[in-house]
């Protein structure tokens, strides 16, 4: 009886990659493994068939021979599981399932656990609120940060001063143990040392054997000119202490700029609304405008309308990333007078009457709006008349 094609057994194309072959075999092995199908001869046969196919196709030399000569090219080495130049089934199994059970593709054969490995400490974040002035001109602030720091009495070892952590006898310092369950070889964290590879028989009384303690530390942070909400300042090695002598993490200071009473910031530009008397808007004049560096004089031309914008060059924010400086954009808001006296009302009434004399248009936006409104109603009237006819 002729054997089935190995590619057909795995359900893979002849140009399938090594990753695709591994994926196909893993699927079949999980489905037909004898431990999952006790007393099922058919499942056991399919499992052995898939194993034989994968053992050949996962080996580059055997696969080349099989592709050229078929089963005849690999009959002497296929299925043996451990012949010269071949790969034993135990090795194949670890390569396929080691990542599922916590291994590293044959971890026991390639060096194992690494329970004594040094681990970098966690990064920390501190949210810092700044006034607009401090963000624009830069400042230096002191912050208090809670973090896990290396315990000084035991120098981070967790063992009482004068003693040392001992190698775990259960995992022999690997941090992991391997348990054989039928065909399955399961690698898991050592229950004795919890993956550390060492045990502490006489723990430090200060940190209770943890090697780290929580402390409040005060740091001085220099805030550069021009920072804005969303910017982060990195302080290297000011995060939490590492484990097993590993380096400390970093501290990131997250900037948030508080709202300002006068100015709104957008990038490097500042924006401000400037109230303006209607007489100044009409006749023109000079007004004082505040900036972050002091007051400046703004010349307002006659007949200025509400909403007019004035740009004050280089009165904004110096960019934190370049030498460019933004502008201050002032929007004038013409105010309507309030709390008028009887005489002031009379003067305004006289002014209003005089506006209609001489046929001149003194309110161009008003007259323009009225002309558009009249045209709109004329269009509606014509449309209604045409529909009625």
Report DSSP state, residue 358: G
Question: Do 71 and 7 contact (CB within 8 A), yes or no?
Answer: no
330 is in an annotated binding site: no
Bridge partner residues of 187 (DSSP): 178
Pairwise CA distance, residues 66 & 75, whole Å: 9
Q: What is the DSSP letter of 299?
A: E
Residues paired with residue 286 on neighbouring β-strands, in sequence order: 299
Cα three-residue angle 254-258-261, rounded to 5 degrees: 165
Q: How many angstroms separate the CA atoms of 277 and 140, rounded? A: 41
318 and 269 Cβ atoms separated by less than 8 Å: no
Q: How many helices (H) and strands (E) does the chain have?
A: 9, 15
> Is the distance from CB of 289 to CB of 276 less than 8 angstroms?
no
Residues written for the chain: 389
Task: Give CA–CA dist 177/188, Å, rounded.
Answer: 6
Residue 254, Cβ density class (10 Å: 0-12 exposed, 13-18 middle, ≥19 buried): middle
Looking at the DSSP bridge assignments, the partners of residue 147 are 215
153-186 as b/e, with b when 16 or more CB fall inside 10 Å?
ebebbbbbeeeebeebeebebbbbbbeeeeeebe
For residue 98, which of 188, 16, 216 has the smallest C-alpha distance? 188
Written as one string, the DSSP assignment of 152-221 is TTTTTS-BPTT---EE-TTTTTSSEEEEEETTEEEEEE-TTTTTSSEE-SSB-TTTTTSSEEEEEEEEEE
Known binding residues for Zn(2+) are 151, 154, 168, 171, 190, 193, 204, 207
Known binding residues are 151, 154, 168, 171, 190, 193, 204, 207
């Amino acid at each position: 009886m002729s054997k089935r094609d190995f590619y057909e057994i795995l359900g893979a194309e002849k140009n399938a990659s090594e990753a695709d072959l591994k994926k196909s075999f893993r699927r079949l092995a999980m489905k037909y493994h004898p431990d999952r199908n006790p007393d099922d001869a058919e499942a056991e046969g399919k499992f052995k068939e898939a194993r034989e196919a994968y053992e050949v196709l996962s080996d580059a030399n055997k696969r080349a021979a099989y592709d050229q000569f078929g089963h005849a090219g690999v009959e002497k080495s296929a299925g043996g599981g451990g012949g010269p130049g071949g790969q034993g089934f135990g090795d194949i199994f670890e390569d396929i399932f080691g990542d599922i059970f916590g291994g590293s593709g044959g971890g026991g054969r390639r060096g194992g656990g690494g329970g004594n490995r040094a681990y970098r400490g966690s990064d920390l974040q501190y949210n810092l609120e700044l006034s607009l002035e401090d963000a624009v001109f830069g400042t230096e602030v002191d912050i208090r940060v809670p973090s896990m720091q290396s315990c000084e009495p035991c120098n981070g070892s967790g063992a009482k001063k004068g003693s040392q952590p001992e190698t775990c006898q259960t995992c022999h310092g690997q941090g992991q143990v391997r348990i054989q369950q039928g065909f399955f070889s399961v690698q898991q964290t050592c229950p004795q040392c919890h993956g550390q590879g060492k045990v502490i028989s006489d723990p430090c009384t200060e940190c209770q054997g943890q090697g780290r303690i929580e402390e409040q530390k005060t740091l001085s942070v220099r805030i550069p000119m021009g920072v804005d909400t969303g910017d982060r300042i990195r302080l290297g090695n000011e995060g939490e202490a590492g484990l097993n002598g590993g380096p400390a993490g970093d501290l990131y200071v997250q900037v948030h700029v508080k709202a300002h009473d006068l100015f709104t910031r957008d990038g490097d530009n500042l924006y401000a609304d400037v109230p303006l008397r209607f007489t100044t808007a009409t006749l023109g004049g000079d007004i004082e405008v505040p900036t972050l560096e002091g007051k400046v004089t703004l010349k307002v031309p006659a007949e200025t309308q509400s909403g007019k914008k004035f740009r004050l060059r280089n009165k904004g924010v110096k960019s934190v990333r370049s030498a460019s400086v933004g502008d201050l954009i002032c929007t004038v808001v013409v105010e309507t007078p309030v709390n008028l006296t009887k005489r002031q009302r009379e003067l305004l009434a006289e002014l209003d009457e005089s506006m209609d004399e001489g046929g001149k248009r003194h309110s161009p936006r008003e007259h323009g709006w009225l002309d558009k409104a009249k045209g709109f109603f004329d269009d509606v009237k014509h449309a209604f008349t045409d529909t009625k006819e």
